[in-house]
């Protein structure tokens, strides 16, 4: 069966949308990205150091490189990511939610597989036990995260907040996520669920405020 041009176009759409959304960050976004992602990266490095060193330096280096690049992009190129979310969100809420869900799952799977290469007892993504806590986090987080993006973009599109304000709010959301992810990795689940609930509340609040906000009158 041949791959039709429409199927190729559909598969490539997220990548084309990201390329279209890429914008060079401002100085404020660079500073904000470093501030928001720095603590999460530091905690992540400390966690992986205790888990993988000194026995698995290569896996450690790969994981830290991925972490710095991944978190650095989401922290500094925050405006580009918001524009990307606006583009994919213009198709439909379901499309945006599913795409964010897939993105989160691929990211989690990469970390789990790399950890498994060093620690064979690690539960892998295709094992049932993996979904005990992750399923709640991923599904609930994808929905609330998408609503948070849509609420933030609604405030921006209605002229209620500017580019820098939108970027700073998103960087605050990212800081919440980075800290919660590190705590999840350390298995401190009681504290994690508290942070997760606060993050959900924050995202739903942004969505409601963005939905209720009226467009700023033009002068």
Could you report the per-residue pLDDT of 169-181, keeping only the tens digit for each? 887 887 777 777 7
> Looking at the 3D structure of the chain, how many domains does it have?
1
Q: Is residue 10 part of a domain?
A: no
Q: Is residue 55 part of a domain?
A: yes
Q: Is residue 2 part of a domain?
A: no
Q: Is residue 154 part of a domain?
A: yes
The total of other beta-carbon atoms located within 10 Å of residue 77's CB is 22
Q: Is residue 14 part of a domain?
A: no
Residue 56 confidence (pLDDT): 93
Write the CB contacts of 83 (distance below 8 Å, at least 6 apart in sequence).
Answer: 20, 21, 23
Handedness of CA 136, 168, 24, 38 (dihedral sign): negative
For the whole model, what pTM was predicted? 0.69
Taking only the tens place, the pLDDT of each residue in 145-175 is 889 989 999 999 999 999 889 888 887 887 7
Taking only the tens place, the pLDDT of each residue in 56-96 is 999 999 999 999 999 899 889 989 998 999 999 998 889 99
Cα separation, 161 vs 168, in Å, equals 11
Q: Is residue 217 part of a domain?
A: no
Domain carrying residue 104: 27-212
Higher pLDDT, residue 15 or 180 = 15
Cα separation, 206 vs 185, in Å, equals 27
Q: Is residue 205 part of a domain?
A: yes
Cα separation, 196 vs 20, in Å, equals 32
Higher pLDDT, residue 21 or 48 = 21
Handedness of CA 25, 30, 32, 33 (dihedral sign): positive
Q: Is residue 112 part of a domain?
A: yes
Three-class secondary structure of residue 218 per DSSP:
coil
């Amino acid at each position: 069966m041949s791959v039709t041009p429409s199927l190729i176009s559909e598969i490539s759409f997220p990548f084309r949308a990201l390329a279209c959304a890429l914008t060079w960050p401002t100085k404020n976004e660079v500073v904000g990205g470093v501030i928001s992602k720095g603590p999460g990266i530091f905690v992540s490095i400390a966690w992986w150091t205790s888990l993988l060193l000194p026995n698995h330096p290569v896996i450690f280096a790969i994981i830290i490189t991925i972490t710095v690049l991944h978190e650095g992009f989401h922290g500094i190129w925050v405006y580009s990511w918001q524009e990307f979310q606006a583009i994919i969100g213009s198709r439909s809420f379901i499309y945006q939610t599913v795409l964010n869900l897939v993105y989160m799952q691929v990211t989690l799977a990469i970390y789990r597989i790399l950890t498994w290469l060093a620690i064979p007892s690690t539960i892998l993504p295709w094992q049932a036990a993996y979904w005990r806590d992750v399923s709640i986090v991923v599904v609930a987080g994808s929905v609330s995260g998408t609503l948070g993006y849509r609420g933030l973009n609604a405030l921006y599109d209605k002229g209620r907040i500017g580019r820098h304000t939108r970027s700073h709010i998103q960087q605050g959301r990212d800081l919440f996520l980075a800290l919660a992810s590190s705590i999840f990795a350390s298995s401190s689940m009681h504290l994690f669920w508290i942070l997760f609930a606060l993050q959900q509340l924050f995202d739903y609040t942004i969505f409601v405020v963005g939905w209720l906000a009226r467009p700023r009158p033009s002068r």
